[in-house]
Structure 1
């Protein structure tokens, strides 16, 4: 289990992560989403002790990362698949970590087989690996200590479609056996396919946190009228949050009666007024983060 409580990180006048709180619970895959510069990587680095927070804190299975005895036996971390010794072979990378973690070399063999690097690939130097192969090795490294928690940043980057499907199956199986998975990725369709829970961050703040099915089906209303510009003004004057859609309508956060009365009072003919269709994770992500214009590194 990962617990984050009021986590904040500032760099001078810039607040990269602002009072962030959420949980990743056993038996689930939590998709941790946000645009570039939203604070995802900074949050993950604080959880695993690589970046000290300005305030707040986090725990893994109830213990701060720095206080975990042999942390790799509790949480497997993959933040950068390229951060591996290029001159060592795949087996050597895992073999050295196995000694540090206190696990057997048989576990190394099992992990190489799991990620599809057993055989000739394990004898190649990591510097000659493709990005997809380094991702597989990174996942093997995260799983090496048989942890109960996984925290992965862009683990499917560089994988082909078959590899992405394989990665999804591994993470789903890990969670179904009672493990906790925190997954950050820009591949929204893959996150939607595997995640149970979603946490969305924008401008350093949590903008959505809940079960995937609940968040994806809370789309508000869709309204479309004969006079598009006039309808937009009416919605603004009524204090209703709205966003234009590609077909000339509006996605509105509000109730149907308020929208209908506002349009009627302005003499606007409505062509449609109904619950909005769920456009999936991609539409929800764009709607929640459309104002996040920060481009600094997360």
Structure 2
């Protein structure tokens, strides 16, 4: 289990992460989503002990990462596929990691085969690897110690469609066997396909979290009015988040709340209906306000 409790990180006066709390349970894939600069990578680095938090704490299986005696045997981490020794071969890179973790070297061949880097690919220098191959090597390193937890930041970068499909199956199988996966990615459709739970961060704060099905069932409300500006003012007065789309104004609220805000302001509506758009629509709606604030 991964537990993040009131985690914050400030750089001077700037809050990169602000009071973030969530849990990742065994047997689940948690999608960790947010726009660039939202605080995702900083949060993952704090969980993995690479960045000290200003306040709060993060634990894996009840202990901070830095307190684990042999962390690679308990947590598989892939935060940067390029952070590998360019002069080593793929096999050598895994061999060094296996030696560090006290593993039988036979585990190296098994993991290289698992990620599709056996044979000639294992003997090539990492400097000659494509980004997709480095991602596969990073996944092999994360899986090398047979951990029960995976923490992955953009692991699908550089993978072709076949590779992305392969990775989705690998992560789903890992969770179905009781593992815990925390996955940060900009590939929203892939996250939607594999995740059980979602945590959405914007401007350093959690803007939504919960079961994927429950979150996606509340995709917001689409609304139109003869007087569009009056409608905007009425929704703002009601404290509702609004984003303009080709189909009208998308409001992150139930239809009843939207209709009531318009009625209170005497605005005549020409359309009022639930929105449907999957994870991409939910993501854009939830992060629109935080992105706007960050740009001020």
Alignment TM-score > 0.5, same fold: yes
Q: Normalised by the size of structure 1, how large is the TM-score?
A: 0.93
Return the alpha-carbon distance in structure 2 between the equivalents of residues 75 and 273 of structure 1.
Answer: 47
Matched, 1:143 2:143: yes
Q: Is contact 2:220-2:253 (8 Å) kept? A: yes
1:181-222 deviations in whole A, cap 9, x for unaligned? Answer: 000011111111111000011111111110111111112332
Counterpart in the other structure of 2:73? 73
SS class of match (2:62): coil
Counterpart in the other structure of 1:90? 90
Return the alpha-carbon distance in structure 2 between the equivalents of residues 12 and 237 of structure 1.
Answer: 34
Return the alpha-carbon distance in structure 1 between the equivalents of residues 92 and 282 of structure 2.
Answer: 43
1:134-170 deviations in whole A, cap 9, x for unaligned? Answer: 0000000000000000000000000000000001110
Q: Is contact 1:235-1:259 (8 Å) kept? A: no
Matched, 1:51 2:51: yes
Return the alpha-carbon distance in structure 1 between the equivalents of residues 178 and 33 of structure 2.
Answer: 22
Counterpart in the other structure of 1:285? 283
Give the alignment's Cα RMSD to 1 decimal.
1.8
Counterpart in the other structure of 2:124? 124
Return the alpha-carbon distance in structure 1 between the equivalents of residues 197 and 120 of structure 2.
Answer: 38
Structure 1: gaps (5+ residues): none
Q: How does 1:136-175 map to 2 (within 5 A)?
A: 136-175=136-175
Q: Is contact 1:32-1:200 (8 Å) kept? A: yes
Counterpart in the other structure of 2:214? 214
SS class of match (2:246): coil
Q: Normalised by the size of structure 2, how large is the TM-score?
A: 0.93
Counterpart in the other structure of 2:113? 113
Return the alpha-carbon distance in structure 1 between the equivalents of residues 100 and 265 of structure 2.
Answer: 72
Counterpart in the other structure of 1:103? 103
SS class of match (2:289): coil
Return the alpha-carbon distance in structure 2 between the equivalents of residues 68 and 38 of structure 1.
Answer: 28
Return the alpha-carbon distance in structure 2 between the equivalents of residues 13 and 131 of structure 1.
Answer: 36
Q: CA deviation at 1:72?
A: 0.3
1:30-80 deviations in whole A, cap 9, x for unaligned? Answer: 001111111111111111111111111111111111111100000000000
Return the alpha-carbon distance in structure 2 between the equivalents of residues 54 and 261 of structure 1.
Answer: 40
Q: Is contact 1:78-1:155 (8 Å) kept? A: yes
SS class of match (2:248): coil
SS class of match (1:63): coil
Counterpart in the other structure of 2:271? 272
Matched, 1:29 2:7: no
SS class of match (1:253): coil
Q: Is contact 2:225-2:231 (8 Å) kept? A: yes
Matched residue count: 293
1:215-244 deviations in whole A, cap 9, x for unaligned? Answer: 111123322233323333333345544333
Matched, 1:14 2:24: no
Structure 2: gaps (5+ residues): none
